[in-house]
Each structure stands twice: as structure tokens, then as C-alpha cells.
Structure 1
Amino acid sequence: MSPFLDAYFARIHYTSTPAVNLETLRQLHLLHNSAIPFENIDVVLPREIELSDEAIFNKLVLARRGGYCFEQNGLFERALRETGFKVRSLLGRVVLANPPQMPPRTHRLLLVELQGEQWIADVGFGGQTLTAPVRLEPHIEQSTPHGLYRLEQAGPDWVLQFRHHDRWQSMYQFEMGAQYQADFVMGNFHSAHWPQSHFRHHLLMCRHLPDGGKLTLTNYHFTHWRDGHVVQEEILPDARALYDAMQQRFGLGVDDPQYGFSVQQLERVMAGF
């Protein structure tokens, strides 16, 4: 294996021998979600988010930070490709909040071709992200460790939906055309710098757990979920408690000279939320 895969597999605690099959894809998908938290800390600090392979590897693997979709799925795409999978990135438009107009393409996801079938993989959509790949086929319920999903077609595009209580909620609409690094750079810049981007106004974190639960953080609001129900809910009292929760509950690295941050830095930025 390559030094990259050695480090990546260690980061997500993968100890099996990988093969280019659905079982390996499912294992890697869930382990990635469980080990590398979704987070937007660099946006609120603020720091520029670089999308080169080296920058993503250094931040999410070596520095043990998390990231959002452009970083998470960039890392996962590289890991799958170096393992031997045929994979490429797609771009989607987030419609979770039912926007009045079609939003720009600001979500990166993956298309995996495996044994004559196409699968959608996505480790970067926060609390509702997939924790298993779903077959690119319309109108069928597909089970993951953290809920039911389905794909619907919208003309030439596709829409990913999740089951929310007794109804289906659309997450994002995506197209199948080729995407380039410049497209990811543009979407990333919009997500991090557009004044109305929710990433600029809230600190967000999520870590999925292998037992079907998940941990979420919205500013100081910490929640432990299982099967759609709240197991534990807590308003953290201050930046120190928030800093500790990031490390202890989400496994976040904070000490790296380039990608780490101090409790004082966190306290300053959280004063605005």
C-alpha cells in the first residue's frame, strides 16, 4: 500500500485487507464517518480552506481535524481511487431548507462504479450525511446504519432524499456531468465567503457512531442522537467546555502548528454567536 493509504487507514481505524468490492466500500464509508468529524471551524476562525490533495491530507489525516464536503469527499475520493475503485466527484445543489430559488452547486459527492453498477457515496453532508453508499437507482428505499434514503430523478438530474419521521425530505439535487478542480474551488469559496452562508454564522460539527448514533454540535448546543431520538442534550457553558468537547467527544485534533487552534482563539470567535 501507499504511505497515503497507510496513514488514512490508521486515521479511520481500518485494519482489514481492502478489496475492490461493495463490502470494502461500505466499511470504509462508515469508518470514515465515525472517525473524521464534519466541521466548519476554519470558516468561522476564519481561515482559507485549501483543496489540494496535500492540504486535505495534512489537515484531516495528519492533524486529525475534520472538514466539510469539499475536503471530506476529496479525501474519500483519493482513498477509494488509490484502493482501486473507479470514482469521480459530482456537484450538487443543497435544497434541504426548501430554498425559493435553485441554489448554486456547493456540495461535493462521489460516484463509484463497481461491478457494472453505480453507487453514490458521500461522507460530507453533516448530520444527515450518508453512512453507506446507495445504489444509483430511483424510487427504492435504501437502508444505511443511520437511516433510510432514496434517490429520485428530476429530468436529467437526481435528488437524494432521507426519511424524516413519516415523510421524505430532499437533501440535494445533483447532475452527472464531469466536474473539475476549478468547480470545487468555486463552490468552496462561495460556501466559505458568501455573507449569507450558514457556515459563516454557526459552528457546526457532527460525528456518526458505529452503533447508529451520532453526535452533533451547533454552536454551544451538544446533542447525542440514536435512532432519531435525543439520548443526551446539553448547552455547553463556555468556550473551554466547547474546546474540551471537540477533543473528547468528537476526537478532534487541536494541537497541530498549522491546523490547530487554541481555546482563546475559539473564545474570541464564539463571542459573535
Structure 2
Amino acid sequence: MNTFLNDFFNRIQYEKKDVTFEDIRTLQSQFAKHVPFENISIIQNENIDITFENLKRKIIDNRRGGVCYELNPLFYYALKELGFQVHMICGTVFNDGEIRLIGTHFATILQHNSQPYLIDVGFGSHHALQPLPFTGELVSSSTGEYRIQKKKTDLGEYAFEKYQNGTLEIGYDFFTSPIDETVLQNAQQIITHHEQSPFNKSPLLAKRTDDGYVTLTDKTYTVTIGNHKSKQTIDIQTFQALALSEFGITIK
């Protein structure tokens, strides 16, 4: 095993030394618990060039998290190094039915036994925690139910959908054509500077736990266990303390 994979496995506390297709769901689950979705670099104006070396340094060596254009590429690099047939793709997120910034979400498509699967470890708390087939079937997870639906529009060829609020809602539309780091870099500029970006206004940190997830902002701390949600208002000192104790991140 090369150094990158060994460091990656240590970062997410994955104990096996090999990975089959069936093991990918364990990789996703471990990644979701140990690598937070967080926008601190955006808020503190500490963005990096999106390259393999920089993502490894930030997320693995410095034990940080990131947003979709950082988390999904790192996971893609690991899958590629493991020998899987993968490529990165981009999509457009919907929020309450409204289109967010076009082409600024990213995920990975993996081919297994000549069948495509979507792998996404960078969509906030909406972790399917397993590869999603393109068959249109509903896939159940501890985080909810998901499916990939064929839907050709100006925003994509398929839709990532999650069952919530009593119905299947579109999370994002996406194209299946491969993209490279140049597209990621452009998206970073948009997410960092655009007035409609949801991630450049205030800090946000979130990660899975064994039985739910925790979410932290500079004003609230929320713990979700199953269907029970506990939310408390916090001050800036408590925010900084929780960022360090729960996420291992020092907030300046």
C-alpha cells in the first residue's frame, strides 16, 4: 500500500488494508464521521489551489475538512488509487426547489461490473453512505432514502433525490461527463465570492456520528440522534471551544 492510501485510511480510521466494491460503503461511513463538512477556509479567506497535494495536506496532514469541491475530489483520488474506474462530475444544487449556483457541486461516478454508481461524500448531512446505482431504485440508508433518476434538462442528465418531508425532493441535477481540477478551481471562486453563495456568510461545521450527526455554527450547536434533534444557542467562545473539541479545528 502506498503512503497516500495508508494516510487516508488512518485519517478516516479504516482498519482493513484492502477495499472491494462492497467495502466502499464503509469507507463512505468512516469518511463522514471523521472528515467534517466545513467552510472555515472560505470564511477566513484561506483557500488553496485545488490539487491532489494541497487537498492531502489540508484534509489528511492537517486533519481539516472542507466543502464538496475538496471532500469529493480527495475521495475520488483514493478510489482511483485503489484501482476503481472513476471520474469526477459536476452538478447544480436545489434548495427548497430553487436553483443555487449552477455547476458548483461535485461528486464521483464509479463503474462496477459495467454499471455506473454515484458516490458523494460532500453534500452536507445528506450522506447516502453507499454507492447509488443509476437504476432509479430507491436505496435505504441510516440517513434516509435516496435514488438517482434519469432527467435530462439544461442542468443535467440525472437527478440526485432524497426522500424527505413526505416526498422525493431533488438535491441536485448533474451531468455524467468527466471534469478536472480546473472546474473545481472555478467553482471555488464562485462559492467564495458570489453573493448568493450559501457558504461565505457564516461558519458551518457538520459531521456524522454513530447514531446521527452534529452541526455547529457561530450561533448554534445541534445534535441529532435518530429523529430527535437538540439545538442550543451559543456564544463565540463556546463556538470556538466546540470547534476544537468536536471537530479538532482551531478557529482564529
TM-score, normalised via structure 1 length: 0.86
Query: Match for residue 70 of structure 1?
Result: 69
Query: Match for residue 51 of structure 1?
Result: 50
Query: Match for residue 185 of structure 2?
Result: 185
Query: Match for residue 150 of structure 2?
Result: 153
Question: 141, 144, 158: which one pairs with 1:144?
Answer: 141
Name the CA distance, whole Å, in 2 between partners of 1:106 and 1:63: 25
Name the CA distance, whole Å, in 1 between partners of 2:164 and 2:226: 11
Deviations 1:27-74 (A, max 9, x none): 111100110000000111122232111111111111111100011011
Of 146-155 and 2-11, deviating more is 146-155
- Cα distance 1:102–1:127, how it changes in 2: closer, same or farther (>3 A)? closer
CA positional deviation for 1:102: 7.1
Percent identity over the alignment is 25
Runs of 4+ in 1 over 6 A off after TM superposition: none
RMSD across aligned positions (CA): 1.6
Question: 108, 111, 135: which one pairs with 1:110?
Answer: 108
Query: Match for residue 196 of structure 2?
Result: 196
Query: Match for residue 2 of structure 1?
Result: 2
Whether the 8 Å CA contact 1:222–1:234 is kept in 2: the answer is yes
Aligned pairs for 1:185-224 within 5 A: 185-211=185-211, 213-224=212-223
Query: What is the letter of the counterpart of residue 79 of structure 2?
Result: L
Query: What is the letter of the counterpart of residue 237 of structure 2?
Result: R
Query: Match for residue 28 of structure 1?
Result: 27
Name the CA distance, whole Å, in 1 between partners of 2:246 and 2:181: 33
Whether the 8 Å CA contact 1:38–1:205 is kept in 2: the answer is yes
Q: SS of 2:215's equivalent?
A: strand
Question: 233, 240, 243: which one pairs with 2:240?
Answer: 243
Whether the 8 Å CA contact 1:158–1:173 is kept in 2: the answer is yes
CA positional deviation for 1:235: 1.2
Query: Match for residue 94 of structure 1?
Result: 93
Query: What is the letter of the counterpart of residue 16 of structure 2?
Result: S
- Cα distance 1:169–1:229, how it changes in 2: closer, same or farther (>3 A)? farther
Q: SS of 2:46's equivalent?
A: coil
Deviations 1:135-171 (A, max 9, x none): 1222x21012311111222126111111113111211
Query: What is the letter of the counterpart of residue 43 of structure 2?
Result: V
1:126 maps onto 2:124 in alignment: yes
5+ unaligned residues in a row in structure 2: which ranges?
none
Q: Which protein has the bigger strand share?
A: 2
Whether the 8 Å CA contact 2:214–2:222 is kept in 1: the answer is yes
CA positional deviation for 1:127: 1.9
Name the CA distance, whole Å, in 1 between partners of 2:107 and 2:89: 5
Query: What is the letter of the counterpart of residue 223 of structure 1?
Result: T
Query: What is the letter of the counterpart of residue 192 of structure 2?
Result: A
5+ unaligned residues in a row in structure 1: which ranges?
255-260, 266-273
- Cα distance 1:199–1:28, how it changes in 2: closer, same or farther (>3 A)? same
Query: Match for residue 39 of structure 1?
Result: 38
Q: SS of 1:199's equivalent?
A: coil
Name the CA distance, whole Å, in 1 between partners of 2:201 and 2:96: 16
